[in-house]
């Protein structure tokens, strides 16, 4: 159950940079997007807190930030036109490989 909580925390970790990015867009509902960012931070942090009860802190933090980083990278590529060159994708693949390695070993 703690691993599921950690994965969900990593997914919510994507919400706060997305909310902050959207709040910067012209004619956006800045308050709504900042609220989304704040709620995402709170949920993400709360689930990380829960997951660390049985998952080592270093593993939990690396998985949490790794999922957030790769997820945010993908959001940037798919929705904001960020570069998807081979080196960026290879780097993201290495992060995912590290997350898998931390879970396995």
| pLDDT at residue 87 tops 90 | yes
Work out the average pLDDT over 81-101.
96
- Pick 105 or 13 by higher pLDDT: 13
| pLDDT at residue 99 tops 90 | yes
Average per-residue pLDDT for the chain: 96
Work out the average pLDDT over 26-30.
93
pLDDT of residue 105: 87
Rounded distance between C-alpha atoms, residue 63 and residue 103, angstroms: 9
Q: Which residues contact 51 (CB under 8 A, 6 or more apart)?
A: 2, 3, 5, 6, 9, 60, 64
Instruction: Give the chain's radius of gyration (CA, Å).
Output: 15
């Amino acid at each position: 159950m703690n691993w599921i909580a950690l994965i969900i925390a990593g997914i919510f970790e994507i919400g706060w940079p997305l909310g902050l990015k959207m709040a910067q867009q012209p004619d956006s509902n800045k308050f709504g997007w900042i609220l989304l960012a704040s709620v995402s931070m709170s949920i993400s942090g709360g689930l990380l807190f829960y997951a660390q009860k049985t998952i080592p802190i270093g593993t939990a933090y690396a998985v949490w930030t790794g999922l957030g980083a790769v997820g945010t990278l993908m959001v940037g590529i798919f929705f904001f036109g960020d570069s998807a060159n081979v080196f960026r994708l290879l780097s993201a693949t290495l992060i995912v490989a590290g997350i898998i390695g931390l879970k396995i070993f």
